[in-house]
Amino acid sequence: MAGWHPATRIDFPAMRTIDTDILIFGGGVAGLWLLNRLRGSGYSAILLEQDKLGGHESLNANGIIHGGLKFGLAAMLRDIEDLDDMPALWRDCLAGRGDINLSGVKVLSEHQYLWSEAGLTARATTFFASRLLTGQVRAVEGAERPDALRHPAFEGKAYELADLVIDMPSLMQKLAQPQKSGIYKVSMQNCHLETDDRHNTTAVFITAAGMEPLRIKPRRVILAGGQGNHALLEDIGLREPEMERRTVHMVLLKRAGLPVLHAHCLGNSTKPRLTITSHPTRDGESVWYLGGELAEDGALRDERLQIEHAQRELKELLPWIDLKGARYKTLKIDRILPAGERGLFRPDNAFVETRGNNLVVWPCKLTLAPNLGRQVLKQFEKEGFLPEHPPQAEALPLLYPETGLPAWETLFN
């Protein structure tokens, strides 16, 4: 969501004006989650997306919903209880009884696994000892392990985590479908923001050849455009809050017959040494999506070096898996965080900050989307901001954006 143009006091003849409680910029997980939560709470709301629903970051997320335990031994450095309730909140939504009805969203795995290298077995046992009693973690042996960790050569420890993995395209479609009447595609060249001297967004003008000009007058504006928030803030005349890009260099591996694996390899670092998730593709095969320390430390490597590094890691950690003939691709993703949010598990809450009548939001992690929705509603309650306008009765003369495809569906074509 970049390049929205600011304007002051624009007037067009025969302009149609739409009053709404809330206007949302950005059709990723953050924007769509908020659209569902706010409309479900009685607010009138419109969402604008300039490209495809899901964008780059949301669609290419690995779908991991976690409570912090994937960080393994490093979690001993600080309390991670702030994330503990996230998987349960998501499970409630998937069962149709949570903040949003996500029944029907495809769950790739009800559990994730964590395995330790042989040399870290004792430390892994010590760390997980207290959590084995809570139901969050369960040691697994033999046939209870995923197929990829059943080989006789495996000498480490394996644990089942009470976390899950969801299919991102399925999630995006489920979030968008019931709200289609409020979602529109708008080219950045055709969108103009009107602001006052206190940085309130007073109107958003949409103009394009062959259509009547539109004026949207929102009471609140939510900037949920991920990295596009930077351009939106500039258009409003704001330099803060600043954002930070943390680039990760993911590796995709495609081969027929890959075992399904959703797991993290426990290392000595402050993050998983390697994370693997499995994603089915429309041609009937599947792709391993590799992240963790491999992806974070590989941000500066080119594609060839990153693939070579991934091959060495897989050969060392899972040497019994036959990867002959596998095809490899890489993908760089900018993870967007508010500037200054550093540390192992930070942020462990979504980011919400008010500037004039604008709310700047970043979920920071997929798993924190429910936290984002609750924070925004709590902020409105604190302000006494109640629904005022009825839902838009007539559709606007704008197109509905299509949902994008994740990299595992496009890079190997």
* Domain residue limits, the chain: 5-58+171-244+344-405, 67-166+245-337
Q: What is the pLDDT of residues 225-267, one digit of tens each?
A: 888 888 888 888 887 888 888 899 999 999 999 999 999 998 7
In the prediction, which pLDDT does 54 show?
A: 92
Better-predicted residue by pLDDT, 98 or 233: 98
**pTM score:** 0.90
Mean pLDDT of 4-14: 50
Percent of the chain's residues with pLDDT above 90: 63
Higher pLDDT, 369 or 124: 369
DSSP H or E run through 291 = strand 286-291
Are the C-beta atoms of residues 275 and 264 closer than 8 Å to each other? yes
Which of the residue ranges 74-78, 187-191, 324-328 would you say has the lowest mean pLDDT?
Answer: 74-78
Q: Among candidates 407, 402, 361, 343, which has minimal Cα distance to 82?
A: 343
Q: Round the average pLDDT of the chain to a whole number and report it.
A: 86
Q: Are strands 263-266 and 274-280 parallel, antiparallel or unpaired?
A: antiparallel
What confidence score (pLDDT) does residue 72 get?
A: 46
Domain 5-58+171-244+344-405 grouped into CATH 3.50.50.60: yes
Q: What is the pLDDT of residue 42?
A: 96
Q: Please indicate whether the domains covering 5-58+171-244+344-405 and 67-166+245-337 agree at the CATH topology level.
A: no
Mean pLDDT, range 67-84, rounded to an integer: 48
For residue 1, what pLDDT is reported? Answer: 45
* Cβ-contact 306, 330 below 8 angstroms: yes
**Is pLDDT above 60 for 10?**
no
Q: How confident is the model at residue 103 (pLDDT cuts 50, 70, 90)?
A: very high
**Upper half-sphere CA count for residue 144 (Cβ side, 13 Å):** 13
At the topology level of CATH, where does 67-166+245-337 sit? D-Amino Acid Oxidase; Chain A, domain 2 (3.30.9)
- pLDDT (0 to 100) of residue 288: 98
